[in-house]
Amino acid sequence: MIGFTTRLRTWLLIAALSGLLVGIGFLLGGSFIYIFLGLALVMNFFGYFFSDKVALASSRAQLIAESQAPDLYADIRELTQRAGLPMPRVYMTPSQQPNAFATGRNPAHAAVAVTQGLVQLMPREQVKGVLAHELSHVKNRDILVSSIAAMIGSVITWLSYMFLFFGGDESDSGGAIGGLVALIVGPLAATLLQLGISRQREYLADASGAKLLGQAAPLADALESLERASKAIPMQVNPATESLYIMNPLSTRGMSKLFSTHPPIEERVRRLRAMDAAGSLA
């Protein structure tokens, strides 16, 4: 049932983001609608096969061998065996902020990327909790939608800014108004579409990760550590890719919390602690 629901969510989100691209073309007028329709088709094809490479490249992740991180490989291998998953490719990014994400179109083509800060600054048990969360994304098959959504969201934002600098014929007031609407609404709508799916998938990955570990405490402790670290150690990422990470790598204070693709850490931790208290994982 989870697999069917996830696949349905995936195609609905991809359809909505594709429709948003076409809608921006319509607002710009003229032949833009056909250009953006073609772009949406290309993005879907490219996103299915290459969104993981885009996500890894944008984070400057490097493939690492088992000899470079034996403990990390050992924990991932243990968790994948428990989950009945193939061993993913393992990457590391140069950021000192503890964080991680998973990407790929399916479990057979999955990759897990961790930051240097995660393995250097956090206890191994908490790192294992983070890995369980990310591998749960793989098992729940929701890494594809996150990767494609991040990529299309980046394209929508980029196109909007391109229009700001190069578009807007002063003699065409209708096109200029449409372009202005696209500039404002496009990135916001892309964020809201990602937000609509990302929060629920984070709760699901937390619960699945706790079950994979057999206890929720390591992941709950890890989330609290990640939140403290994110405030102390900045991390620069494309805002469109923030939904990929276990913890929002960008600062979310005040009104920005309303548009965060991640649910509040306090609520995530509360749910995990409640699982241990209820003894549902024993």
Q: Single out the catalytic residue among 125, 134, 170, 202.
A: 134
Q: Report how far apart the first and last C-alpha atoms of the chain are (Å, whole number).
A: 24
What crossing angle do the helices spanning 124-139 and 143-166 adopt, rounded to 10°?
A: 90
| CA–CA dist 217, 260 (Å, integer) | 24
Burial 17-43 (b: 16+ CB within 10 A, else e): bbebbbbbbebbeeebbeebeebbeeb
Where residue 271 falls (left for φ over 0; alpha for ψ -120 to 50; beta otherwise) is alpha
User: Is 266 a known active-site residue?
Assistant: no
* DSSP per-residue string spanning 159-225: HHHHHHHH---TT-HHHHHHHHHHHHHHHHHHHHHHHHHHHHHHHHHHHHHHHHHT-SHHHHHHHHH
Which two three-digit tokens encode residue 111? Answer: 């990759």
Neighbours of 68 (CB within 10 A): 12
- How far apart, in whole angstroms, are the C-alpha atoms of residue 122 and residue 247? 14
Q: Judge contact between 209 and 133, C-beta under 8 A.
A: yes
The residues annotated as belonging to the active site are 134
